[in-house]
Chain A
């Protein structure tokens, strides 16, 4: 199926980014001196244990948190307040329950008064590739967790942002559904390239979806290392069983252990 053409993906540059959090009696760096560059259309997976500052980092990119020092650039412009240039997919269910599945996917173009033939084609396209066609006119209450996540991801893609920020999007799903959605995301990023920032605590997931994996460790939240992922896209079958995959997995695991 031909993909309706979308906006060009963005180049995301983060340099020397620090976010200091203030508690009642002390301050600490949730993110300290983080730097990376994501080329347009590439996926950066950020993996780390909970509390390592990865969500804070994503919130800076989303415009929900201001950095204390350093900067985050989208195509050279510093990130400002949240807007349609980057869509966010949260771990918890943020599908609008009062809109049908189609209504949710249409939300972005509708709110920007940009509903036209192209946006309608995008809605139908993503309903189809995400297997949501038969539920298009249902309310989310009838959907399973996995289907709701597909609506969430579809809504972000239809909105046609330049980057999509995913905060442990599949964290609450069962193993089988999770792997299906990882495959769908990898397929989407080939057919409709967007710059993706994918936060996860699951090492295999990070390697599977990422072109690069940034390994983060907590207190202070630092990026230990950024690894290139050499595997072909779409991912070959049984990639997770391959020795190179397991080798990468072991490397990331030891990086996370040797805090």
Chain B
């Protein structure tokens, strides 16, 4: 009998220890270090870029020292307005979204208004809101609440409509009233779908508050940036921008941790 000389086809690779993936996190660090180094070389060292266009590291640090506690106070004002507007807008948005999912009358009357108003850039409403509320914190808070409200109203409504009807039936057959079903089933079931919207709304609220502070505010990061920009003090402009960026980033991370805890029951891929 002739032996066919065919090498065995290996369809499954032999068991082996999983290959260790090279640690590429170092790339992230290197990227940041590279940008900082380029900044230093182009401004402080070679002085290729004039201070007016982009401040040097040395003058930025100096400006930071001069601002001192005032920077913290300005950031505090901005953060207070943002937080207030975000909480207010999100809470109202969730409430209206839930009601729209529940009542056809409310849905058909409120939905077209929301759909028409949603694309209006909040910043375009600055003149009107100043007329209505004056140059007050109320005006800035209302303005930042608006995009949060729009985002959350739409996502909440969609999420509430998509709650698995079996959960509702199960709750009914265990004796839950409609209000209890809303509290113990619908609100819990939609939370994972709201997480992304809550974070997007926060980013919008920061942007809107800083823009609102450009007009008529007496403090806040937006006020600081505009004042410095009028006197061509680019290092303060940079510090203001960096402060609000870091603030928004830290807030987003906190939000991420809180929502991750609240949705720890979700079966995730990773």
Interface residues of A (CB under 8 A from B): 62-64, 81-84, 86-88, 90, 92-94, 96-99, 107-108, 111-112, 139-141, 155-156, 159, 161, 165
Contacts and interface: CB of A to CB of B under 8 A. Distances in A.
Given A111-B180, A111-B184, A94 B169 contact: yes
Contacts of A83: 172-173, 175
Main secondary structure of the interface of B (DSSP, over half): helix
Given A97-B266, A111-B184, A159 B169 contact: no
B188 interface: yes
Contact of A111 (B164, B175, B188, B267): B175
Nearest to B191: A98
Contact of B174 (A84, A93, A140): A84
A83 B175 CA distance: 5
Contacts, number: 69
Given A97-B266, A141-B267, A82 B173 contact: yes
Given A87-B174, A88-B170, A111-B176, 20 more contacts: A62-B169, A62-B173, A63-B172, A63-B173, A81-B172, A82-B169, A82-B173, A90-B169, A94-B164, A94-B169, A96-B167, A96-B185, A97-B265, A98-B191, A99-B265, A107-B184, A112-B175, A141-B267, A155-B174, A156-B174
Interface residues of B, number: 21
B189 interface: yes
A10 B226 CA distance: 75
A94 B175 contact: no
A170 B235 CA distance: 69
B175 A96 contact: no
A97 B164 CA distance: 12
Contact of A87 (B166, B173, B185, B267): B173
Contacts of A141: 265-267
